[in-house]
Amino acid sequence: MIAAALLALVDVLTMAPRLKLEIRYATANNFTHQKLYAHARCLLHDAVARRLAEVERELRARGLGLRLYDCYRPLHVQRLMWSIKPDVDYVADPKVGSRHNRGAAVDLTLVDRRGRAVAMPSDYDEFTERAHRDFAGGTEEARANRRLLEEVMGRHGFVGLPTEWWHFDAAEWQTYPLSDEPL
């Protein structure tokens, strides 16, 4: 049975089936080195998912796509992440909750026509200055890809996190309630 709180969330693949999923927290390939989700799904609030589908369509017209690393995240998972990395620059304090816990944030990257990730200044979940949006190092190609991702996401109502090039919040994230329903 689907929990009531999850009924407010939609699977983004129903709106944008060409999106690529690599939900890292459904595997041990993440900074916790633990599988935190039972299922690899990307759930977001309807309005957020619709805007992400618009991003995907714009990028597809340019020969690019999106790979999603994380979307909705239960609050109990946020607590576990905080116990491992209690650093507000990279992990939201569960006392206030994450925008992911509201179904209003997404972690993602650009992919080429074949679904391969393009160059970015750092890996996903790399908690260093290389992950910051203003990082001036790395290759020009990686910085250009980061800028393109931020520009397209911004045009569709998403706001980037300064310390993580891959993280984007829906501008209205605060209007959505925290949730702790499991995936």
pLDDT at position 64:
98
- What is the assigned CATH class of domain 4-175? alpha beta
pLDDT in tens, 104-156: 999 999 999 999 999 999 999 999 999 999 999 999 999 999 999 999 999 99
pLDDT in tens, 3-14: 445 558 999 999
164 is catalytic: yes
Decide if 130 contacts 108 (C-beta within 8 A). Answer: no
Decide if 20 contacts 13 (C-beta within 8 A). Answer: no
Sequence ranges of the domains in the chain: 4-175
Say which DSSP state 117 is in: B
pLDDT at position 183:
87
pLDDT in tens, 147-166: 999 999 999 999 999 999 99
Catalytic residue among 22, 56, 164, 181: 164
